[in-house]
């Protein structure tokens, strides 16, 4: 919640396209998918780090299960995240 409050106050919050461009860095095959493990690592270790429970809740609310190769479509994740923000207790 403190992260959302701070971001809401800032003028430049980023938009869907900004987040997609960032996640494209992890899209090695340029097919709109990335490894779930890489997204999890980024959320746990970069910027305002989340803890394991927060990441699990975020994934449960905003993501379909990974495929057999561990890949997820990151655009759907961003769309769901931006349409219904997850609030951490």
CATH of the domain at 79: 1.10.238.10
- Using CB atoms within 10 Å of the CB of residue 30, give its burial: 0 to 12 exposed, 13 to 18 middle, 19+ buried: exposed
Task: Report how far apart, in Å, the C-alpha atoms of 71 and of each of 11, 38, 67, 86 are.
Answer: 33, 10, 5, 22
Range of the domain at 51: 14-83
Domain count, the chain: 1
pLDDT (tens digit, 9 = 90+) per residue, 7-66? 666 656 678 888 899 999 999 999 999 999 999 999 898 877 889 999 999 899 888 899
- 18 belongs to a structural domain: yes
Q: What is the pTM of this model?
A: 0.73
């Amino acid at each position: 919640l403190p992260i959302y409050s701070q971001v809401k106050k800032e003028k430049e919050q980023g938009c869907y396209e900004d987040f997609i461009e960032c996640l494209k860095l992890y899209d090695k095959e340029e097919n709109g998918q990335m490894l779930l493990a890489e997204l999890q690592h980024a959320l746990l270790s970069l910027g305002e780090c989340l803890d394991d429970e927060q990441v699990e809740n975020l994934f449960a609310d905003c993501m379909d299960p990974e495929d057999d190769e561990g890949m997820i479509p990151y655009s759907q994740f961003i769309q769901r995240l931006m349409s219904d923000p997850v609030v951490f207790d």
